[in-house]
Chains A and B, each alone.
Chain A
Amino acid sequence: MEKAKQSRWLVALSLLLSSSMVYADWTVNMRQGVTAISREIYELHMLIFWVCVVIGVLVFGVMIISMLLHRKSVGAVSADFHDNTTVEILWTVIPVIILLAMAVPATTTLNKMYDPGEAAIDIEVRGLQWKWQYTYLNNDPTKEVKFVSSLLTPREEILNETRKREHYLLDVDNELVIPVNTRVRFLVTSGDTLHAWWVPDFAVKRDAIPGFIHQAWAEVEKTGIYRGQCAELCGKDHGFMPIVVRVVEQGEYETWLAGKQEEGRLVYETVGKEWTQDELMAKGEEVYLRVCAACHQANGQGLPPAFPSLVGQGLAVGPMAAHLDIVLNGKAGTSMQSFKGQLNAAEIAAVVIYERNAWGNNMGDSIQPREVNKMMSTGQ
């Protein structure tokens, strides 16, 4: 076919220009996709496309013939007509008929898209600047799975410092996993500005709007990995928040879900449970002696000026937010490093509470690990 010939030529040309790239999923047309709806949309697209091609060929054909025959240089003399009611009625009525014929299948498909029926799985999809948060809804809150999915492509690839690998910009750390041949409902919303959740192979595109919830659905017929991108301008990194959905067999899905639930349960038990002040103090002392005492000393007096004292001065007796911030993020230009990556939310909450209430620092305040976890996950 014409297309294949053209594509070979283009690939050759671009390989010549930049040999370092990988060309995957090379395509020039809409994907047929892997749901009944996506295939119907593809059919509609091809139908209207061919209608347009036929109209185009007719219209441009007449134009070309006219330009060839009715030019002054070949001696054409202009005719003197400027009206023809029959023709004018014809070219008004025929398009109307074509449009009516197009409207019928389009309406049918739209109807189907708007009827989610009974879904087996409900997933809340929440757009955030610039990542997606997925929640598998479950009547039992301890079995609910919730995670954030963000771009995996390293900065170096984007800045052209290393070679771009396959799925450049289309790879995420946590994929959305759904079972094959199962109806899944997506409840799309946003936590900040507008986004749009789009997976071309499912023909699902829904704008995510803060304060509003919209639904879409898909019943995927083939296992595999399907990729999409945010489709509504959402600020700086709009181009860097892909969507990856892994569609697996029912059994594999259940195993995956159980694993995620177990992970969630562990986090819930340490981070999510309600801690008493005594538990926090005990945990805090343990963490302090293990991690902090080397510099700030076991008695909190530190070794000034390099390692300041924590007793009765500084952030340990100041606002808790600033105290948490320095532990989470460190302080530039000093030996105080960021502990976000080394300690979990429970450990950080505990050590901060310990520092605020040990050695006569009787601040008396408290914070739950759950809340620290929230700060850590929202990047504050």
Chain B
Amino acid sequence: MSAIIEEHHHDDHHHGPAKGLMRWVFTTNHKDIGTLYLWFSFMMFLLGGTFALVIRAELFQPGLQLVAPEFFNQMTTMHGLIMVFGAVMPAFVGLANWLIPMMIGAPDMALPRMNNYSFWILPFAFTMLASTLLMEGGGPNFGWTFYAPLSTTYAPPSVTYFIFAVHLMGISSIMGSINVVVTILNLRAPGMTLMQMPLFVWTWLITAYLLIAVMPVLAGVVTMMLMDIHFGTSFFNAAGGGDPVLFQHVFWFFGHPEVYIMILPAFGIVSAIIPTFARKRLFGYASMVYATSSIAFLSFIVWGHHMFTVGMPLAGELYFMYATMLIAVPTGVKVFNWIATMWQGSMTFETPMLFAIAFVVLFTIGGLSGLMLSIAPADFQYQDTYFVVAHFHYVLVPGSIFSIMAAVYYWLPKWTGHMYDEKLGKTHFWLSFIGVNVTFFPQHFIGLAGMPRRIPDYALQFADYNMISSVGAFLFGFSQLLFLVIVIKCIKTGKQATAQVWEGAHGLEWTVPSPAPYHTFSTPDEVNLKEAHG
């Protein structure tokens, strides 16, 4: 079998892609796999979005209208899990697959076979996860953070499938990350030093290390759950000498780096787009690299800020508060660098630039509410309210998701060889921008006014803003169908794109024709580093 694939792979080198469905099943080509990842993540985005709309529809008015509380809890849980592990992370891996080899002048990823496996694990993992909704007792209903003992002693029987699904996702992520690290460290075009790499490559290198460090910890924590549920151990069960709070410590030791895993590649994307449309070099390249590294480092030592109300000795609370506040410094440096890049540039505002600017503004708002949350005494009032929901959606939706959309618009002409429809793209941007803010901005208010998160019904004083938030959510949700239309239209009928595509674009990927040939940079002499740095 492997010999056949080997043969096949060898064939590719000379004749371009194979025909038919088998091309996608057996492909080891980084561009094909990147495409698979991106389409998969878009499907998951729509699925997770549908769950979100179920939530927002139920919360449109006080009272129970559409779903029972049990099902509501499954929706919040699955929405979180699907969006984090199914939409955002695979989308970044897809972008890494497409772009990293082209950005560093490598012919492909270092481990093409493993690349194929790490993608094809995902459909199985998510089919298993989604199928729990149809099982007896329902799907996971304990929140995406799956705190014990709700996820152990009190969990529905489907929790075992959830655990296996998480294991599969973890294996996929770890394999993907190993591939990224090896590719970046071993396959850079001759003469490209680390400090000459585009920032997207840098941020992904750091992200990959984070993934290798924390995905196994997540695997460990779900394994402990599995043992508690089926093999009578007591990691998280107080009766047997365990401790439910231990779960939270181990989970957030994974969970905090995880949230940076979902934002660091976004920093890389924005650092590529803003200079292009400002027609000016990125300000403070080196400080960007150092800031990213320090954010990654800090992410390991701040997990306790998710647990201020859980109960820690005073010294613990103070330590986690100070450490968390520190994160504002490197994050601020990044924002200032982007603005300094725009300053005295010669800007145009095509769709990728619009998304990138919206990213900077709205991510900053999310960052500032994060700073508020870091103040431990105030966190006693914010914790587990909609203020927190508003905060992390501001950094994840107009943060991570907007950056992914910016990336798709930016590199789509390179991938497909066609331009997208600029007018439709801008329409999509404005609808998304308005939708996101109408959805999440009012959630700050209802959170401060005292509405807890993860409740299917609420007191009357929260009614107005919930209604507005739901309207915004539907606007945002349905606008994404326009995105689908734009991409399909671009592939089918978009007008021919040039090799450079954007006037101000620099980097190796813009030195190859559009669409990018199936094999690029097969030999080192195809790489023109001078062009890359313009």
Write the residues of chain A forming the contact surface with B, with a CB cutoff of 8 angstroms. Answer: 10-11, 13-14, 17-18, 21-31, 37, 40-41, 44-45, 48-49, 52, 55-56, 59-60, 62-63, 66-67, 70-73, 76-84, 87-88, 91-92, 95-96, 99, 102-103, 106-107, 109-111, 113-114, 157-160, 164, 166-170, 192-194, 196, 198, 200, 203-207, 209-212, 214, 228-240
Task: Give complex CA distance A67, B69 in Å.
Answer: 47
Binary CB contact string for chain B from 356 to 390 against chain A (1 if under 8 A, 0 otherwise): 01001100110011011001111011011100000
Check if A196 sits within 8 Å of B384, measured CB to CB: yes
State which of A78, A92, A231 has its C-beta within 8 Å of the C-beta of B278. Answer: A78
In residues 70-115 of chain B, which contact A (Cβ within 8 Å)?
70, 73
Check if A82 sits within 8 Å of B385, measured CB to CB: no
Q: Is B282 an interface residue (CB 8 A)?
A: yes
Task: Give complex CA distance A240, B42 in Å.
Answer: 35
The 9 closest A-B pairs by CB, nearest first: A211-B238, A239-B455, A79-B344, A52-B368, A28-B445, A109-B377, A82-B281, A78-B346, A78-B280
- Chain B binding surface SS class: helix
Task: Give complex CA distance A239, B456 in Å.
Answer: 6
Q: Is B493 an interface residue (CB 8 A)?
A: no
State how many angstroms separate the Cβ of B467 from the closest Cβ of chain A. 6
Q: Is B63 an interface residue (CB 8 A)?
A: yes
A22 nearest in chain B by CB position: B460
Contacts of A41 in B (CB 8 A): 377-378, 380-381
Q: List 6 A-B contacts (CB under 8 A).
A: A29-B448, A67-B357, A102-B375, A203-B380, A233-B73, A233-B143
Check if A78 sits within 8 Å of B342, measured CB to CB: no
Contacts of B329 in A (CB 8 A): 92, 95-96, 99
State which of A14, A164, A170 has its C-beta within 8 Å of the C-beta of B464. Answer: A14
Q: Known contacts A10-B464, A14-B464, A235-B73; is A110 also within 8 Å of B314 by CB?
A: yes
Task: Give complex CA distance A203, B384 in Å.
Answer: 13
Q: Known contacts A41-B380, A62-B339, A203-B380; is A239 also within 8 Å of B147 by CB?
A: no
Task: Give complex CA distance A45, B344 in Å.
Answer: 36
Check if B318 sits within 8 Å of A231, measured CB to CB: no
Check if A95 sits within 8 Å of B460, measured CB to CB: no
State which of B73, B283, B311 has its C-beta within 8 Å of the C-beta of A81. Answer: B283
State how many angstroms separate the Cβ of A88 from the closest Cβ of chain B. 6
State how many angstroms separate the Cβ of B147 from the closest Cβ of chain A. 6
Contacts of A234 in B (CB 8 A): 150
State which of A67, A114, A231 has its C-beta within 8 Å of the C-beta of B452. Answer: A231
Check if B380 sits within 8 Å of A236, measured CB to CB: no
B151 nearest in chain A by CB position: A193
State how many angstroms separate the Cβ of A35 from the closest Cβ of chain B. 12
State which of B311, B322, B465 has its C-beta within 8 Å of the C-beta of A207. Answer: B311
A114 nearest in chain B by CB position: B314
Task: Give complex CA distance A45, B467 in Å.
Answer: 26
Q: Known contacts A198-B452, A237-B69; is A13 also within 8 Å of B464 by CB?
A: yes
Q: Known contacts A96-B329, A203-B381, A233-B454; is A18 also within 8 Å of B348 by CB?
A: no
Write the residues of chain B forming the contact surface with A, with a CB cutoff of 8 angstroms. Answer: 61-65, 69-70, 73, 141-143, 147, 149-150, 153-154, 238-239, 243-245, 278-287, 309-311, 314, 317-318, 321-322, 325-326, 328-329, 332-333, 335-336, 339-349, 357, 360-361, 364-365, 368-369, 371-372, 375-378, 380-381, 383-385, 445, 448-450, 452, 454-461, 463-465, 467-468
Task: Give complex CA distance A127, B100 in Å.
Answer: 51
Task: Give complex CA distance A205, B378 in Å.
Answer: 11
| 13 further contact pairs, Cβ within 8 A, besides A56-B368, A169-B62, A209-B311 | A31-B449, A41-B380, A55-B368, A67-B347, A79-B343, A81-B344, A82-B282, A99-B329, A193-B154, A212-B243, A229-B455, A230-B452, A237-B69
Check if A25 sits within 8 Å of B461, measured CB to CB: yes
Most chain B beta-carbon contacts within 10 A, residue among A11, A168, A233: A233
Task: Give complex CA distance A91, B329 in Å.
Answer: 8
State which of A11, A106, A164 has its C-beta within 8 Å of the C-beta of B321. Answer: A106
State how many angstroms separate the Cβ of B245 from the closest Cβ of chain A. 6
Check if A26 sits within 8 Å of B381, measured CB to CB: no
Contacts of A92 in B (CB 8 A): 329, 332-333
Task: Give complex CA distance A28, B238 in Å.
Answer: 40
Contacts of B70 in A (CB 8 A): 236
Contacts of A236 in B (CB 8 A): 69-70, 73, 141
Contacts of A228 in B (CB 8 A): 450
Check if A207 sits within 8 Å of B460, measured CB to CB: no
Check if B344 sits within 8 Å of A78, measured CB to CB: yes
Check if B460 sits within 8 Å of A166, measured CB to CB: yes
Check if A83 sits within 8 Å of B380, measured CB to CB: no
Q: Known contacts A31-B450, A44-B375, A63-B357; is A169 also within 8 Å of B459 by CB?
A: yes
Task: Give complex CA distance A40, B322 in Å.
Answer: 19
Contacts of A160 in B (CB 8 A): 63-65
State which of B154, B336, B349, B378 has its C-beta within 8 Å of the C-beta of A192. Answer: B154
Contacts of A103 in B (CB 8 A): 321-322, 325
Check if B309 sits within 8 Å of A87, measured CB to CB: no
Q: Known contacts A45-B381, A52-B372, A110-B377; is A239 also within 8 Å of B279 by CB?
A: no
Contacts of A18 in B (CB 8 A): 61, 463
State how many angstroms separate the Cβ of B202 from the closest Cβ of chain A. 16
Check if A110 sits within 8 Å of B360, measured CB to CB: no
Task: Give complex CA distance A282, B160 in Å.
Answer: 54
State how many angstroms separate the Cβ of A105 from the closest Cβ of chain B. 9
B447 nearest in chain A by CB position: A30
Check if A52 sits within 8 Å of B344, measured CB to CB: no
Check if B461 sits within 8 Å of A23, measured CB to CB: yes
Check if A106 sits within 8 Å of B375, measured CB to CB: yes
Q: Known contacts A44-B377, A91-B333, A210-B238; is A193 also within 8 Å of B344 by CB?
A: no
Contacts of B343 in A (CB 8 A): 62, 66, 70, 79
Contacts of B284 in A (CB 8 A): 82-83, 88
A63 nearest in chain B by CB position: B339
Contacts of A207 in B (CB 8 A): 309-311
Task: Give complex CA distance A62, B376 in Å.
Answer: 31
Contacts of B342 in A (CB 8 A): 63, 66-67, 70
Q: Known contacts A106-B375, A160-B64; is A21 also within 8 Å of B154 by CB?
A: no
State how many angstroms separate the Cβ of A250 from the closest Cβ of chain B. 27
B449 nearest in chain A by CB position: A27
Task: Give complex CA distance A230, B383 in Å.
Answer: 12
Contacts of B349 in A (CB 8 A): 67, 71
Contacts of A29 in B (CB 8 A): 445, 448-449
